[in-house]
Structures are given as C-alpha cells and as structure tokens.
Structure 1
Amino acid sequence: MLKKLKPYKIQLLFIISILVMYCTFAYGLQRYDFVKLITLYAALFFLSFKLIHLLKTDFKILVAVGVLARCIFFIAEPNLSQDFYRFLWDGRLLTQGLSPYLLTPDQWVAQGTIPISQSSELLEGMGSLSRAHYSNYPPVNQFFFWLAGLFSGNSILGGIVVLRLSIIAADLGIVWIGSKFLKVMGLPAQQIFWYFLNPFIVIELTGNLHFEGVMLFFMLAALYLLYLKKWFWAAVLWGLSVSVKLVPLMLLPLLFQFLIKPAKPSVQTQDFLRYVKQNLPASLWKSTRFYGLAILIFILSFSPFLNSALLEHFSATLSLWFQKFEFNASMYYVVRWVGYQVKGYNIIETAGKVLPLIAVVALLALSFFRKNRSLQQLFTGLLFGISCYFALSTTVHPWYLATPLLLSVFTRYRYMLMWTFTIMFSYAAYQVDGVHEKLVLVAFEYCAVAGYLILELNTKKSLKLFS
C-alpha cells in the first residue's frame, strides 16, 4: 500500500492531513466550540472531495482511507451527541431480560431499584430530555444495543466500541453493494465515496454512533435484491431496515411502479398504464406481497416486547417529534413565524399534524404521478421523496441526512453534498449554557441548498462543483 502511494506525494499529504484532522475532531473538540468545529469540518470536506477526485481510479486506497478515518474514532467518546448513553441504557436493560419500552429512565429512578450498572453515569450523560421519555428505537436497532450490553460488561467505552464496530461494518457493506449498483447503472464506481469518505458520514455515524448507516445497508441490499428480482428476501431486508429506523416505511409507496413494471421498464406512460390495466391482478399481487411481507417483518420484530403498553408508549414518543420538538427546520420555521404573526403563539401542535400530511401527499404524488420504473428513476424518486419529508419536518438533526445523501449517489443530483456541508452550521445552536438556535445560519443552510437544487433542476447535466 505505502509503495503504491509514494509516487503520489500530494495525495499522501492530503491523506495524512485528513487523518490528523479527524484525530483532532475525535479527541480535541467540544460541541460548543463552533468556530473550531466548522473550521475543521470545512477543511475535511474540501480535502476529502479533492482526494476522491485525485484517486478516483484507486478504489482500494480510497476504501483504506475511509477505514483508517473510522478507526481513529475507535475509542473516542462521541462529542457531538449524547444519544449513545440511551443506547447503552436500553442495551443493558435488554441483557437483564427487561423491555426498554415499558418505563422511562426517570420512572426507573422513581421506583428506586435500577437493575443496571453505571446507572448514574448513563442517566447524567443522556440528559433530562431522554430520561423523561420512553425509548423510540425499533427492535432491530435495540438488537445492536443488546450486543453492546452483552459484550461490554460494565464498561461504557466497551459499549461504544461494540456499537462503532456495527456501524463501520454497515458502511463497508454499503460500499460493496453500492459499487455493484453503480456499475449496473453505468455510473462511476467512485461515486460511492461521496458517501463513504464524506466527513459528514464519518463524523455523524462512526463518530457520533447514529445508526442510519445500518438502516441504509439493509435498505440498499433490499433494493439490489429487487433489481435481481428476488422480492422475498428484498421484502425481509426492507422490513429489517424499518426496524432499525422508521424512515424506509414511508418510502414504500415509491417502490410501487418498480415492483409492478413490465419486462421493459422504458415503455411510454400510456403503454405502461395499459400494461397495468391488462395485468391488474398480477400487478396488485406483486406490490401487495412485497408490502405485506415487509410490514409483517417489522411487526414481528416487536414480538419479544408485546404487551398492552407497548403501542401506547412507542406511538406517544414518536408523536413528540412532530408536535413538541423543533430543531433546524426549514418550511416549519416559516409556518411558525406566520403563526406568531396571526395567533401570537407557537403553533407547533397544529403545524406538527398538518405538515406530515402534506409530506404524505407529496410522497404519494411522487409515487403515482412520476415515473419510477428504471433504477435511475427510482433512486431519484426516493431522493426527492425523502427530501420533501425533511423540508416539511419540525426537526432535522444532521445525521438524518445520511439517507438522502446515499440515495443521491445513484442520481445526477449533487444538492445533498451541499446540504451535508451546510447542515453542520446547525451545531452553532449548542452553547455552554444550552441550545440557542441561530436562525441566520439556519436560513443560510437552506438557502444555499435550495439555490443549488434550483440550478440543478434547470440544467440537464450535473453541475461540476463536486466532480
């Protein structure tokens, strides 16, 4: 490996610089030090994409750089998110045979008997917000928390390492399947590094232990199996993906045309509609069996936790994200401002119910009134669908963007690369004395992304900024 790199002095300098910066990010950064955070991130962002361009034909070297970058975080405690404390809490409950969905951490404290080790450290680390609510992590995600509890014993660092290994393994799986997909679609294989070497992914997933990557591995594998016409196992994997994070559940309608397409998916719209009409029973069966099995797998994943309180607690926690929590939103903040002018108070409870309905209508419109029959059309439809959802969400944490970023790799659109840079400005909200959003930076984030998207929609070719 080193011999191969010697002729490439600039590339080697870039690699060393990137690894040193990741080391600083992992071990020498506090979340409230925004100037240092955004400076490091901007440098990593520039150098990483420059390296992809310089080494685009050296697939193995780029994979090695991505792995080395992740290994730097190996024993680092996440410094931009405290969610991992709740992951470890839930996992240790599971190792004791207890359901993480029955009681909130505060309720365990009120009972006076907490059956897990290091409870004080975990409670303090997760913060008051997490302590007060029931777990909202689906069962397959909980499986990885259980693994962390099983193999780490009483070590918080040990639990972090187990979780991190799972996430790194998923990212390697995404590189493997993603490169296959790109070759099938006639796209450059190095485009997968827009995901794998993007500092946003390295920091938010490997660094901060968010499980979007595990969910995306199952989802991408399901799509690849669908392409191979292996619908049964594709549905199983899609169900598992939903049971890591719920996002793929709302993307199911966008698969409809791809599921029922004729042998030649490039037929004109009128011919396609005639085909569906002539083969209506078979078309409905193709879609129903896939949707039914995927949803069944998701439901069955809850079977170890079934009780009368499960649905109530899980659904109540999910509703909070739409009607109580707000962070780094776009359209919702405009609606909220209008609400203050008209009503004189925050209308999140109303907006939190209406905006998801608008998102559902947008997803259905994309599913049935836009072509989604070829792989290129499908990935573009999925990308626009999830982008619409986040544009209408009341809460958009940085790590949420892992899903549209990966989908964009298989399209001609690059606005997600811009968004993975600008969303890091949302960390300016975290200060020593609490969370105080800077709406000027939020506006900059979304205006930059919207402007780039508008440019892309008005040209038939990919813009060259990230090429």
Structure 2
Amino acid sequence: MTVRWVVSGFLILGGLAGFVLVSHGYGSPRLHLPLYVLAAALHLVAVLASRQVRASRAAVLLFVIVLALLLRVAVSLTPESREGDYYRYMWDGALTAHGVSPYRFSPAQILRGEVESPEVLKLSQEGRPVLTRINHPELRTLYPPLAQSLFALGYLIEPFNSTAWRAVLLLLDAAAGLLILFLLRSARLPLAWSICYLWNPLLIVETYHYRHLDLAMAPFLLLFFWGAWKQRPYLAAGGLAAATAVKIWPVLLLPFLATCLWPRRLLVVKSVLAFTVFAAMLFIPYWTSVRYESSSGTVAYAKTWNANELAFHGIQRISLRLTRTMNHVVDGRVASRAILLLLLVAAGLWLGIRARGRGAERLALAVATVVLLMVVAGPTVYPWYFVPAIALSPFLTRPALLFWTPLLILTYLSRSVPNPSWLLVMIHLPAWLIVILQLRDLYRRPGKAPDA
C-alpha cells in the first residue's frame, strides 16, 4: 500500500471528525461546509493514489473495510437536525407498518384533525414531534412502495427513531459494498478501487448525517448492472424494477435492458417483460398518490419543483415560449420535463449502444453518465441525488465523475449567497466537462485492466 493512499484515508477521517465536532457546537458553524468540501477533496487524492496500490488482497481489503467503518461510525455521531426529509420517512414508515396507506393523507390533514381513523390519530399523538417537522406537510408522500417498506422496517426496529433508519441504510450500504467487492473481483479490477464508494465523504455525509434515502437504490442498481453485464435478463430487470420502486428516476435506464442484450432478441423481450411485471407489482399501491393533484407530492414534484438548476432553466424557457405559441394547450412546466425525459431516454439508448459488449467498465461508464446527466440537467440538483452514480465509480479506470463531488456540495450555499447564479455556473460547468470526458472514455479503445 502506498503511503499517500494510507495518509489520505486518515486525513479524510480527520476531516469528517472535524465535521462531526462542529455539528455538536465545537468551533464556528462556518467551518461545517469547508470541512465537508475538504474531506471530499482529500477523497480524490485517495482515489488517485489507489491506482498505484499493488499490495495483497487481504491487506488492501482489511484496510479499506476498517477505515470505511470508522468513517461511517464517526458521521453517525452527528445530532439530529430540526428539519429533514427523514422526518417524512419515519412518519410514512409508521403508517405503513400499521397497514395504513401513506399515500392517503397529507401530514397537514392529520395535524388539522381532518382524519377520522383511530389508528392514524393514535400514531399522530405518539409521533407528533416527527409529524410537525415534516417538510411540505400539505403534500402527500411521493416515495414509491419499496421505499415505504424500508421506512416501515426502520419503524419496526424502533418507532420514530432516526438511528433505526440509519441502521436500515447501513444494511443497504453493506449490501452495496459487498456487491462492489464481488463485482470488482469478477471484472479483475483492483479491490482498492472500492474506496471510490466505501470512503466517499459525500455518500457518507448525505446518508448518515442527513439520512437521505438515495443510497437505498445502490444495491439494486448494482444488481441491474451485474445482470446487464452478464446478460442475465431477470436479474437485470428485477434490480432495475426494485431501484425504480425506491425512487422513480432509474426507469431512465430501461434502454440498457435492450441494448446490453441485443441482438439476442428473446433475452430482450424477457427482460422488458420481466421489468414490466416486477414494476407493476411493486407500484400497485402507488397509483393512488397521483389521484388528487392538489395534494399529490408526486404531481407537485413533477410539475413545479426547481432547485439549483441551470441547464433545465434553459429547457424550461424554451418550453414556455413554445406553449405560448400553442395558446397554452400544454402546460409549459410539464412540457419542459417531458422534453428532458425524452432527451435522457435517447441518451440512455445511445450510450447503451456504445457500451454494448465492451465489458464492465464501459457499461458502468455509460450508466453513470446517464445518472450524471439526469442530475446536472434536471430541475432539482442536490448532492444526495448523486449517490447512486458513486456506486458505479469503482469500475472506472478514470472515475472523472467523482471530481464533481466537492463542487456539488457547494449547492448548500445557494440559499445563503446574495446572487447564486455565479455559484451555479461554477458548479454546473465542470459537470458538463466531466460528461465530455466520460464520452471520450466511452469512445477510446479498451485497455488492459490492472491486476487485482
């Protein structure tokens, strides 16, 4: 193991330890974000150094896993925040665990006493500190059924407890980490490359401090990647359907089911049919959430949610002009999202064709590029949206997408700076350069993989 690799690993731990101390009030709150960015920058040093690691598998694996655990334990010591998405997770989990549809009532309806269900009223009394802290309480939940099952598991471990939810995330994190190590060995890539995921500060902070759901997609996306790489239609379809049932956007990866199995037409048909069946079964409880548009979180997110966007702002302006010429036959906000969806699906189809039959690295590069495009071109740009792409970075010889993480963290400043436009340009432009680099890597001839 190289000295630079080991030292940078411990420096990441030091940076995150400082982040935790500031969270508890030791030091100026202004240090919170710089320490987070510093840890992300140090991680890039470790990733670059990992390309020179040639030690025995046992020594590498032991060091990687021990430090990965220390990083997670350290960040798990941060206190709860006054607001956060995880309050809705805990409330949804309570409803689901008691057999009540989380899509039926909005938190505001329950707080106003408009719900007659004795079960819900009892839960609202037990979990009132959680219920009153939910963001956008006027909206019903938008999280798909598999996510709701995970929330319910957290509730069953310990009702209305964010540490229990962290435990659920840790189980999914461990599953993703084990899959990455297994797939690296299958692809004959160095196990040290797993630090792209296992030591990643953005992934660790967004999961164990802010407690965001997005890591829950990682093991399912890895199963999809494995199935697509090895041309196993049911594994690929099942993994993609499960990821879509955690958050809807992985449906953008559906073209890969066709491109990776082509020209074996029977396998293509099997995979698409399997995805359709799995997704339909998983989403049966979900369709009620879009029935009443005025209080549907899904509809509100799909039509009106915007945050830290740049490219999408241009798409939306063009869409609004077009709809004005059509006398507003179509809602411009919906049209802009439909245009983006078509562009991303087309990109997925094209990238899937480029990656077809060219090994694990090219497939991971193509899928990760679609995820990167979804984040940088989408209407909402948040650091935690990038977590699933990180799960694919260990398979890349040049994981350029990781160089966006320190900048992506700066989106937390967008609400506090007087003029955020310059900040968003500084964050977004490098991401588009990374997209270009990844497309270049997709076109170059594959080289010989390093020894594991």
User: What TM-score, normalized to structure 2?
Assistant: 0.81
Could you tell me how far 1:11 is from its partner in structure 2?
A: 6.4
In structure 2, how many angstroms separate the alpha carbons of the residues matched to 1:122 and 1:79? 12
2:357 to 344, 360, 373: 373
Is residue 132 of structure 2 the alignment partner of residue 124 of structure 1?
yes
In structure 2, how many angstroms separate the alpha carbons of the residues matched to 1:80 and 1:420? 25
Contact 1:75 1:161 in 2 (8 A): no
Is residue 304 of structure 2 the alignment partner of residue 296 of structure 1?
no
Which residue number corresponds to residue 442 of structure 1? 424
* Equivalent runs, 1:26-175 vs 2, <5 Å: 26-28=23-25, 35-51=30-46, 56=53, 57=55, 58-74=60-76, 76-79=78-81, 82-110=84-112, 111=114, 114-116=121-123, 117-127=125-135, 129=136, 131-153=137-159, 156=160, 159-175=161-177
Secondary structure of 1:396's match? coil
* Equivalent runs, 1:414-429 vs 2, <5 Å: 414-429=399-414
Which residue number corresponds to residue 450 of structure 2? none
In structure 1, how many angstroms separate the alpha carbons of the residues matched to 2:347 and 2:229? 25
In structure 2, how many angstroms separate the alpha carbons of the residues matched to 1:289 and 1:201? 34
Which residue number corresponds to residue 243 of structure 1? 245
Contact 2:40 2:405 in 1 (8 A): no
In structure 1, how many angstroms separate the alpha carbons of the residues matched to 2:149 and 2:40? 33
CA shift digits 1:214-242 (9 cap, x unpaired)? 21102202332454554334433332222
Could you tell me how far 1:390 is from its partner in structure 2?
A: 2.6
Aligned length: 423
In structure 2, how many angstroms separate the alpha carbons of the residues matched to 1:70 and 1:81? 21
CA shift digits 1:41-65 (9 cap, x unpaired)? 1221233344456675422212111
Contact 1:95 1:150 in 2 (8 A): yes
Distance 1:229 1:419, change over 3 A: same
In percent, how many aligned pairs have the same letter?
19
Which residue number corresponds to residue 305 of structure 2? 325
Contact 1:104 1:133 in 2 (8 A): yes
User: Unaligned 5+ residue runs, structure 2?
Assistant: 325-330, 447-452
Contact 1:210 1:399 in 2 (8 A): yes
Distance 1:171 1:332, change over 3 A: same
Contact 1:101 1:135 in 2 (8 A): yes
- In terms of mean alpha carbon deviation, does 141-150 or 450-459 score higher? 450-459
Could you tell me how far 1:208 is from its partner in structure 2?
A: 1.5
Contact 1:106 1:132 in 2 (8 A): yes
Distance 1:90 1:249, change over 3 A: same
Pairwise CA RMSD: 3.7
Could you tell me how far 1:349 is from its partner in structure 2?
A: 4.7
2:291 to 312, 318, 324: 312
Secondary structure of 1:213's match? helix
Contact 1:322 1:394 in 2 (8 A): no
Could you tell me how far 1:412 is from its partner in structure 2?
A: 3.8
Which residue number corresponds to residue 327 of structure 2? none
In structure 2, how many angstroms separate the alpha carbons of the residues matched to 1:234 and 1:339? 35
Contact 2:43 2:200 in 1 (8 A): yes
1:385 to 370, 380, 383: 370
Is residue 41 of structure 2 the alignment partner of residue 14 of structure 1?
no
CA shift digits 1:40-96 (9 cap, x unpaired)? 112212333444566754222121111111112335345496000000111111222
In structure 2, how many angstroms separate the alpha carbons of the residues matched to 1:73 and 1:79? 13
Partner amino acid, structure 2, of 1:441: L
In structure 1, how many angstroms separate the alpha carbons of the residues matched to 2:35 and 2:21? 8
CA shift digits 1:314-349 (9 cap, x unpaired)? 995333223201111121123456789998xx9645
User: Unaligned 5+ residue runs, structure 1?
Assistant: 261-275, 277-282, 463-467
In structure 2, how many angstroms separate the alpha carbons of the residues matched to 1:340 and 1:29? 48
- In terms of mean alpha carbon deviation, does 213-222 or 370-379 score higher? 370-379
Secondary structure of 2:73's match? helix
Could you tell me how far 1:392 is from its partner in structure 2?
A: 2.7
Is residue 267 of structure 2 the alignment partner of residue 286 of structure 1?
yes
- In terms of mean alpha carbon deviation, does 118-127 or 11-20 score higher? 11-20
Partner amino acid, structure 2, of 1:405: I
In structure 2, how many angstroms separate the alpha carbons of the residues matched to 1:313 and 1:296? 26
Secondary structure of 2:132's match? helix
1:182 to 181, 184, 187: 184
User: What TM-score, normalized to structure 1?
Assistant: 0.79
Distance 1:71 1:382, change over 3 A: same
Could you tell me how far 1:25 is from its partner in structure 2?
A: 5.4
- In terms of mean alpha carbon deviation, does 162-171 or 197-206 score higher? 162-171
In structure 1, how many angstroms separate the alpha carbons of the residues matched to 2:396 and 2:148? 32
In structure 1, how many angstroms separate the alpha carbons of the residues matched to 2:129 and 2:258? 47
Partner amino acid, structure 1, of 2:95: L
